Structure 1
């Protein structure tokens, strides 16, 4: 499975709910990700951007399910999932790409 940076932006209702009924939102996040077979590596919150931010191990199908469940809750205004690779994988990509540099033939010229 790949690693992803997940950002979920709370809406006004989500913030109001957290203030009105404080609870460990990290545990709630871990519960839903575990139910979907997603491994949660870490969770952070950014009050200044109104976001839950986490690193997870997942795949595209699980990500789709997570976004459907989370966004249909009425708690969030938006979210994103960015695939991450480690430095070794990035180096390998650079090396492989360097071997192919200039081999793609454009249809425009």
Structure 2
């Protein structure tokens, strides 16, 4: 199942809600990922440019993107970014496939 790394920031409205009514954001996130047909492997609150990082596996990326629309539309999250992550084994397979394709390409010059 393809794995994705999602980062984002909490909005001012989300921070206000967390202050007024503290809640388990990992559990809320897990429910949304599962509604998208995926599994959440990890949820972390982070420092730096992002407030959180989620690692999730989802077969259909359109379902994941739909879930991110829900999160963004809620007004609780902003600056959502998604990256497809590949295992070391997947990268090895890509390298092997590239080696078989190399003869078909001729660089400019």
Where structure 2 has 5 or more consecutive residues not aligned to the other structure, the ranges are none
Counting only pairs closer than 5 Å after superposition, residues 1-109 of structure 1 correspond to structure 2 as 1-58=1-58, 59-105=60-106
Count of residue correspondences? 108
What is the distance in 2 between the residues matched to 1:37 and 1:62?
A: 7
Where structure 1 has 5 or more consecutive residues not aligned to the other structure, the ranges are none
The alpha-carbon deviation at position 16 of structure 1 amounts to 2.0
Q: For the structure 1 residues 16 and 80, does the alpha-carbon distance in structure 2 shift closer, same or farther, using more than 3 Å as the test?
A: same
Aligned-residue RMSD, C-alpha:
1.9
Q: Which runs of 4+ in 1 moved over 3 A?
A: 47-50
Is contact 2:33–2:64 with CA below 8 Å preserved after alignment?
A: no
Q: Structure 2-normalised TM-score? A: 0.85
